[in-house]
Structure 1
Amino acid sequence: MKETGPQCEAERTARELDWNLLRTFVVLAESYSITDAANQLRLKQPTVSTALKRLEDRIGRKLINRSPGHYALTEAGRLLYREAVEINGSVLRLSTLMREMTDDVRGHVRIAMASHVVSPLIDQTLTSFHSAHPKSTLTIDVLSSSKAIAEVAAKRASFAICLVGDHSPGLEYRRMFREYFGLFCGPPHPLFGRDNLTISDLEGHSSVSFETDRLQDVLKPVTVMRAQAALGQKITGVSSHLEEVRRMIVSGLGVGPLPVHVAARDVRDGQLWQVPPFDDLPPIDVYLVWSSHAAKSRAEQILLDGLLQAIETTPIEERSYR
């Protein structure tokens, strides 16, 4: 007698599902159209359309709503995408893990890093790691914090060092260090070089800032500081990269926030000038983020353990940069 039921259906799906279809679907879900996905996959559009239909037939659900000017995942598509990203990440890591089964630690570590993260903890840990395991290699990708976390969730990055808003399930978070933000201007700005400034002197001046400088976002304390300084409502420039925010400040586009310890050298070199407020500056925490579900190579685990040990053995006071 042929068995039926949810368990049998699940086993049949697992047995018959083509894993390549899931990889194709991940690209489809992250694209703007079938044509965009086909270009990324280097396949013809009809081939990708056929693959999507095969997957929808296999799953028994419509996964993408398509019409002229409209391309969006269905609820079933969103659910499958979350699972497929993790499965695809695990499959991609298999060959890497097998290749690294040698006596020496030779693995590759990919870190997703927010722009211009400055901490002696990180530098010292990287020095120790390279000294102990010189055959291991490293990639540091500079991304916005949200994209860095997404790379970890998708198992495309070993771990991330970035700012954190909401905590995602399945990811682990450990505060790495705390930095304090101040307001700065560049040489072309009328406030540059002026002593005895008060916060009222900033009123009405234009500003530049980060894309996450919003009341509902991770840099909310910085948003509040800008508001208290009564800077003009118009933000003349934004970026998710600290180096570009710094560039706009130095170029005189407006007053902008930067971590005080990161800006210190530019202040000494006459490229930046700190303006009020000088007291009670807003603290922002930078986190180490990793997936507890991702299988890690020895190199990844050793470097992650080294960073965690550095955090645990260093008091937060010594990890706070004013």
Structure 2
Amino acid sequence: MESPGHADPDRFTRALDWNLLRTFMVVVQEGGITSAASRLYLTQPAVSQALKRLEQNLGRQLIERGGGRFQVTKAGERIYREVVEIYGNISRFDLLMQDVSDEISGHVRMLMISRVQTALLDDALQSFHQRHPLVTFRVDVQSAVEVHQGLLQKTGAIGICLMREPMPGLDSEILARQTYRLYCGASHRFFRQGAMTVRDLRQENFVSFVSDQIDGMLSPLAVFRAKEGFAGRVIGASSNLDEVRRMIVCGLGIGPLPEHIAAPDVAAGRLWPLPPEEGVAPVDIHVAWNPSARLLPAEQAFLDHLLGRIRDVPASKRRPR
């Protein structure tokens, strides 16, 4: 046989077929053509022809055979060791790719209520951006009702919103458990007063959210006021948390705020917590999405990433920052 050393290297590389190398490896491992043919689901002539072609391409005899003799030559042993190494590397391709993800790019639109303060969302955004820096985000701050409508109409991929009960057409997961409590501003006559009860508040004017109605998103607040016999007028209302907070701080009336939102104002002397001490109502913040919407790869990747972070934390520990 002619040595390949005198041939064009590029021509030799192009002519070499991995299937021939694999067939040779199996022939050596099985110790014969017949067993190799059975393992490869090929006919004996096909295996013999493949071995012959490989020897012709390499210019070396790899196996001495004939008359019941089967002996791997020195050249065959060397080639066999290399082929086993190559085969081992190829078989690891899947494992090598498990830690490598295709670079995701695209845009994610989120619909969100105001003043969402939770480390789960912040950490998910940070880690996702580090992993997929090409993805861009748009966050639209809306009322909870607008978030629900946007998800149902598929104008947004992911919603961060209040949800008092499961909503038809949407799936959701609790992002943060929060409690609303009543407060008054520094100019209010109840500021810094102790030993008060809910009974003392019943005639006070009230500031609240637009959705603080029996059929609204914050209906637990309306239920509380009705149950306790609150008779004061609703002086101010808004769908924006910051504006409700502003009216309470300015003394228009007493009103509800999430405890974690009001905490800095209480510490600074701008707000004063009122009874009941356990709060008025728990109203959780949810991550919501429309399961019938066809999300873009970036949207689906971020939703999966966020839900994965959330579900690693027990619901009882999903507290606002």
TM range (shorter): 0.5 to 0.7
**Which TM-score applies when normalising by structure 2?**
0.64
- Tell me how far apart the structure 1 counterparts of residues 141 and 291 of structure 2 sit (CA, whole Å): 22
**Which TM-score applies when normalising by structure 1?**
0.64
Task: For residue 321 of structure 1, report the CA deviation from its aligned partner.
Answer: 5.1
- Tell me how far apart the structure 2 counterparts of residues 294 and 177 of structure 1 sit (CA, whole Å): 24
Amino acid at match of 1:303: F
Aligned counterpart, 1:262 = 261
Aligned counterpart, 1:296 = 295
Pick the structure with greater CA Rg.
2
- Tell me how far apart the structure 1 counterparts of residues 276 and 228 of structure 2 sit (CA, whole Å): 8
- Tell me how far apart the structure 1 counterparts of residues 312 and 146 of structure 2 sit (CA, whole Å): 29
- Tell me how far apart the structure 1 counterparts of residues 187 and 139 of structure 2 sit (CA, whole Å): 34
Aligned counterpart, 2:111 = 112
Secondary structure in 1 matching 2:180: strand
- Tell me how far apart the structure 2 counterparts of residues 197 and 170 of structure 1 sit (CA, whole Å): 44
Amino acid at match of 1:316: A
- Please list the CA deviations of residues 283-308 of structure 1 after superposition, one character each: whole Å capped at 9, or x if unmatched: 11221111222222222112111221
- Tell me how far apart the structure 2 counterparts of residues 219 and 212 of structure 1 sit (CA, whole Å): 5
Task: For residue 318 of structure 1, report the CA deviation from its aligned partner.
Answer: 0.7
Structure 1 runs of 4+ aligned residues shifted over 6 Å read: none
Alignment of 1:268-283 (within 5 A): 268-279=267-278, 281-283=280-282
Aligned pairs, number: 221
Secondary structure in 1 matching 2:283: strand
Where do 5+ consecutive residues of structure 1 fail to align? 1-102
CA contact (8 A) 1:202 1:230 kept: no
Aligned counterpart, 1:127 = 126
Identity level (%): 40
Alignment of 1:126-165 (within 5 A): 126-165=125-164
Amino acid at match of 2:236: G
CA contact (8 A) 1:171 1:290 kept: yes
CA contact (8 A) 1:180 1:321 kept: no
CA contact (8 A) 2:118 2:176 kept: yes
- Please list the CA deviations of residues 173-219 of structure 1 after superposition, one character each: whole Å capped at 9, or x if unmatched: 22222111100111111111222222222131101001111122232
CA contact (8 A) 2:145 2:217 kept: no
- Tell me how far apart the structure 2 counterparts of residues 114 and 199 of structure 1 sit (CA, whole Å): 29
- Please list the CA deviations of residues 146-185 of structure 1 after superposition, one character each: whole Å capped at 9, or x if unmatched: 1111111222111101112564543222222211110011
CA contact (8 A) 2:182 2:279 kept: no
Amino acid at match of 1:278: E
Task: For residue 227 of structure 1, report the CA deviation from its aligned partner.
Answer: 3.7
- Please list the CA deviations of residues 232-283 of structure 1 after superposition, one character each: whole Å capped at 9, or x if unmatched: 3310011111111101101111000011112111111112111111126411
Alignment of 1:1-40 (within 5 A): none
- Tell me how far apart the structure 2 counterparts of residues 188 and 225 of structure 1 sit (CA, whole Å): 25
Alignment of 1:202-221 (within 5 A): 202-221=201-220
Structure 2 CA distance for partners of 1:108 and 1:221, relative to 1, 3 Å: same
Aligned counterpart, 2:192 = 193
Amino acid at match of 2:253: G
- Tell me how far apart the structure 2 counterparts of residues 203 and 169 of structure 1 sit (CA, whole Å): 36
Amino acid at match of 1:243: D
